[in-house]
Chain A
Amino acid sequence: MLRAFSTSATGMAAQQLMVDTIANNLANINTTGFKRSQVAFQDLLYITLTEPGTEVVSGTNTPTGLEIGSGVQTAATVKVFSNGELENTNKPLDIAILGEGFLQVSMPNGDIRYTRDGSLQLNANGELVTITGYPIEPAISVPIDATSIDIGKDGGVNITDAAGTQSVVGTIQLARFPNPSGLSSEGGNLLAETLASGTATTGTAGESGFGTIQSGFLEKSNVQMITELVNLITAQRAYETNSRAIRAGDEMLRQANQIARF
């Protein structure tokens, strides 16, 4: 049987995964804080038919070997953490992180998740929560008598009460990872720490490598429609070509079968 069939099949599967990834990127083009994924491929192992340096005649060795590869495999899907464009919303509780860092979100079971989506809200108890309703970590409560709220560049949450006095009720802390590409996506704009990502370092916005917080803005997704569409066309064509290789291989086998007809 032709090895080329399975080789081309790995090529088709790879392009299919590429289309799946592009589809998810495009579907999330308007998702706040979404980071696009890119697929990383690597070549599969090789079958060595002739070792390089095999002796052809005494004293003469082949300069190169003959290795036939067996296709392609996916190494990883990698999230690209470049910053998205900022959109002005004029809502004081909408925050965008300019630079590196994630907001920490505390889940009902006590786990911490991480997000770039800064569309914060106040819940019935006056706590700062994400748009899904999970409180941010460390928890910040806004008193009921606050008339206005304002988040500074360092993440400090300032309120003005009915009497007109200003006070700081808490500071939003950011988290950072040695390898953000290693974070696992949990859906709902949340990311979870893994062995690959390393442990989170928390800190104050604007200090030691953390980005600053911009209130009144949201970070849009970093998906570029043109780039994705170009990638989509490329993936589709590559898929087609790999399927054509299977067809050509099939044709070759058909001809081989016809020899026996005499």
Chain B
Amino acid sequence: MSETALAEKLELIVGERFVLRRESDLLVYNSDGLPGYRRMPRLAVFPGSREEAVQVVRTLATYGIPYVPRGAGTGLSGGALADDVVLLGLHRLKRIISIDPENLRAVVEPGVVNLSLNRAVAPIGLLYAPDPSSEAACTIGGNVAENAGGPHCLKYGVTLNHVISITAILPDGEIVTLGNAAGETPGYDLRGAFIGSEGCFGVALDVTVRLTRKPAAIRTMLADFTSVDEAAHVTSAIIASGIVPAALEFMDGPTIRVVESSVYAAGYPADAAAVLLIEVDGNAEGVDADRDTVREICIAGGARTVKVAQNDAERTRLWQGRKKAFGAMGRMAPHLVVQDAVIPRTKLAGILARISDIAAANRVVVCNVFHAGDGNLHPNIPYNADNPDEAERVHRSMGEIMRACVDAGGSITGEHGVGLDKIGYIELIFSPDSLAAMCRLREVFDPLRRSNPGKVVPVHSCQEWRATPAGRAT
């Protein structure tokens, strides 16, 4: 089908304004939250209602046209990039359909911004727990696609643990309900399979999420250290103590300094080698006891000071530095690679030392800012992609860090997804048979692999299932 004919068909559904075809219009959609990749969509279409979204998907199905679903485009794995295929933007589907405080749930359209949902339920004492750092912009649909996490997932769990059911449109246009909003789901956990499928299984039309009661009391602390190693060991000690902090975040010296020199300055001590941002929540009596225990562990582990936020304003300020750290890194260089590996928590100190060695050997600056309590690392490297020598050193460092994390028993991604960025690493952790099984699962939802083509699992893995398994009896 010609470009023009397709565009005209889509314009009939969504209106002329919401189909973009000119390169100058599409330019803004040629990257996502990870600035290192650029892919130009063939065209972009933005349905304004559920009905329009259904019609768009069905039209694309009729003509066998591949597409990439996209929420706010804040993803950090290149997962929402459309390489000469249709980009299907869902951010206009932003209705909060219902809030049900009695049953602690809400039904939202995929384009609802994470923070908007939280603002809507806050007045009734509730919250939606997953809180990615991009919460002010990212959408629930995107969160479902990526199985998004966030600092408070240490205690409260990731998107998977907070989504009850999903109505989705499959790539062939069929509308299905995954999970049961009103009781158990006997049978296969199709909801669980869909969450984190990175847009490869279809498009969510509405999502029923679980809401959580706000904790009665919160204590937020900032502990600062003169050594990265001490901060890493204190992290392990807090986890081992049996306290489950609501969040336990780590920022190293380079991160602290870039945050403090930006508009997001949070009052972190600029000469520290590392800080831990630690939050405990629960009832007032209990959190005060936990706060005291955490403070003792920090001091015993070498913390110079442990500052406790005295009010909401102080707490917000401490968090702002953490949540905006990626943005602050924009001050250092035009591009940023963002890593998302996960390691067993006891390996933290060793891995941080290894990362430091890798950075030194490749002459790059690593800014570590991550969810230490989960062992979910984010070693980020600001750089200039237009300098080929520097770009080469950065990518070599990233590969070496990834391998070190995998060798430590870890995973290549904890919350950002595989997307395009980590597809080259997935064979480090999964066998050909495992990847082929994943392909088979995808093909049940999308036999022609038209939804977000070329992401998550390498195409060659999908061929291997058809071959005879190694050693198979005949």
The reply to whether chain A is a binding partner of chain B is no
